[in-house]
Chains A and B, each alone.
Chain A
């Protein structure tokens, strides 16, 4: 965050907090404070139902989204393939989250991704553009450098600077909504890897040290919420997939504010040991979050 952004943000926050103190109900603030679970895992339902059940266990969306806030939702829209290929986040999940944010009084909700395949085709064919628009969100492009601004990553070892999308920089609430998939380079792609879509130059990551850069970037901004779509999961040939045969039905959803924990749990779902995924290991070492699932307070819900 540069100085100007900092000032702008702090002024904005002060006004928001100030007016809240003056006019808002104090009980809301208090009710929002305690988060009882480190991770919520839901299974057996459709993405919309699972999200509602899961977020309820975390105190409702109101614990994360306040009236008048600007929310940015970052699904994975990386590939020009239809929803049944599960290479992109489930459109129903995206639209459900948008609706809940707007219900909670969000001023505006934005959806974007820096796609791999041609962006407008990805937006359209993933089904996310139409789902997001009809749910009331604004769709923005992530494939133009002019929307990206320099950031420094003080906690990064290899990745110490990058250019991040202005929507994320200016957001009050950032919700990371990855889809869990096999990945031919990083073994799996989930919450931390999904944040690659926030930055402009990804070739540096690939060229230098992919896992370390993923972990480094996770130190910069922890999403307020990570919602992992594991409804349909690409088990092989990820991250783009070749056919629907790569996809298995897991009918699951994970929610956590801890990006490392949610990735560790997702790795288990995919049949991997979290300790074998280097970026999970590195991020845990760098204290971005916790991968010791057995010590976490996990709420398990079957719909």
Chain B
């Protein structure tokens, strides 16, 4: 590699990161669901933690994405953090802004926080192995980025979009349609904003501090990058110890006085190479003998990691992170059932879903009916922010399987549309004494009207009235009945979850008999 191209590495990094950042951001904002699932899958398969979760339960394009990132890291170091990770690019954007306000901004070498970082990494890994995604979801970069976009940016985006759409309608132009905005709730919004504030502060003040203290992907890739074939290094012969590289190092990992670089912290932004006036910072094959490199001074994160791994304490703590017991018998209580979360078709069971979902909210922003809604504590402490089916805001469209097609973590496994129609995620419960037909002695049947399988149908009641009746063998638990039920304050029909999803029978199909056809005379 000639030195001429090395100087351009930073530019290349900026271009690649934006090429990935823009479509990944748009995945969460796309008001028309215009990005095909295949493209979405390809983009998110590069996100290392969701992809790792997914290959535990599913293969497909994810494997290629994950292995690509691993191979990339082993070849070139932590380039993931500077190009692929959308939170990394977001931090770089914040850092760019910070430079506008702090004209004399200079970074300085700081001792890496390996002990802290690997403690956190071990705790995150151990708890997710034990079945709790709580810590992982609090720290995983892609999912946090997704939550910020879904809960804080998207509503603002839609507000603007809808304002334009409404103004156009007033001008009799029906080119844009309003897009429904999810019911406002502070819970997904505030934690997302809080996280954004923390990351913004850290990056504004200290560059890539988040990536090197809290980020689980950063910790893992920091270890893997130790083995990388290409590394940044300082050439003893050409370096003049001017310190230019150290001043631009947002990972604080270059100590120019000792010519040392902490590879566990370096995010391969290549700012140092561009900044060096003497071509003293090189990016070279580790077997190359061309440059004079002092290897002894390179800081090793490995020992710290082994120390952290050996902590037996976590093994004792692990059972505390066990997912909430979701297997207790269904029907254990009227109100209890209503509070328990229902997981989307394809997620197999509450346990499967809750132990894999990184709460990136991609499904929440893509769901065309907006039935998928961020939870808070509904899954217990172990599954904070993971989405659930919210039948007060909407119901699951019978013909739609979009969430299963795009889930990055395998929490919702792909199911094709016909198979999805036979997955029973819950069962309808009819509370006859609350039903309009009983309380009012008037016809209603909003529930049965909306039911896609006619698991809720009507039968004669007290003369000419029609009252709902259930056939739960063919109920899929979509929530159309619950959503459309007009009774207040309690719905007379509601769906209780299947902790483990079941197979619904196919709806009964019987050919309707003709009563009138065009060959007969009109019956009037």
Chain A positions near chain B (C-beta within 8 angstroms): 41, 43-44, 80-81, 108, 110, 116-118, 120-121, 125, 138-141, 143-144, 146-147, 183-187, 202-204, 206-212, 234-237, 239-240, 242-243, 245-252, 264-265, 268-271, 276, 278, 293-294, 298, 300, 302
Contact = CB atoms under 8 A, between A and B. Distances in A.
Contact of B166 (A146, A265, A300): A146
B440 A208 contact: yes
A44 B518 CA distance: 5
Nearest to A251: B518
Given A139-B174, A210-B442, A185 B522 contact: no
Given A44-B518, A144-B178, A242-B507, 4 more contacts: A140-B174, A203-B484, A240-B450, A245-B512
Nearest to A298: B524
Nearest to A270: B515
A209 B399 contact: no
Contacts of B333: none
Interface in B431-452: 436, 440, 442-446, 448-452
A249 B445 CA distance: 26
B173 to A, nearest CB: 9
Interface residues of B, number: 53
Chain B CB within 10 Å, residue with most, of A212, A250, A276:
A250
Contacts of A264: 524
A80 B397 contact: yes
Contacts of A252: 516, 518, 522
A235 B174 contact: no
Interface string B447-467: 011111110011000001010
Nearest to A269: B516
B453 A239 contact: no
B449 A208 contact: no
Interface in B478-517: 484, 486-488, 507-517
A61 to B, nearest CB: 23
Contacts of A265: 522, 524
Contacts of A183: 445, 449
A168 to B, nearest CB: 15
Given A118-B397, A242-B453, A269-B523, A185 B515 contact: no
Nearest to A212: B442
A58 to B, nearest CB: 17
B436 A141 contact: no
A80 B369 CA distance: 11
Contacts of B514: 235, 248-250
19 contacts: A80-B398, A117-B369, A138-B174, A144-B178, A146-B178, A185-B448, A185-B449, A203-B484, A206-B486, A207-B488, A235-B514, A235-B515, A237-B454, A237-B457, A245-B510, A246-B512, A249-B514, A271-B516, A278-B443
A185 B458 contact: yes
Contacts of B522: 41, 43, 252, 265, 268-269, 298, 300
Given A118-B397, A206-B486, A268-B524, A239 B449 contact: yes
Q: Which 5 interchain pairs have the tightest Cβ spacing?
A: A185-B445, A235-B512, A203-B486, A207-B486, A271-B515
A117 B397 contact: yes
Given A185-B444, A208-B440, A247-B512, A141 B452 contact: no
Contact of A185 (B446, B512, B523): B446
Given A80-B397, A251-B518, A293-B524, A141 B444 contact: no
Given A43-B518, A276-B464, A209 B397 contact: no
B444 to A, nearest CB: 5
B512 A248 contact: yes
Contact of B450 (A116, A147, A245): A116
B396 to A, nearest CB: 10
Contact of B444 (A108, A125, A206, A251): A206
A278 B445 CA distance: 15
Interface in B154-177: 166, 169, 172, 174, 177
Contact of A250 (B172, B442, B517): B517
Contact of B518 (A81, A139, A210, A302): A302
A184 B524 contact: no
A212 B517 CA distance: 31
Contact of A208 (B177, B399, B442): B442
A207 B436 contact: yes
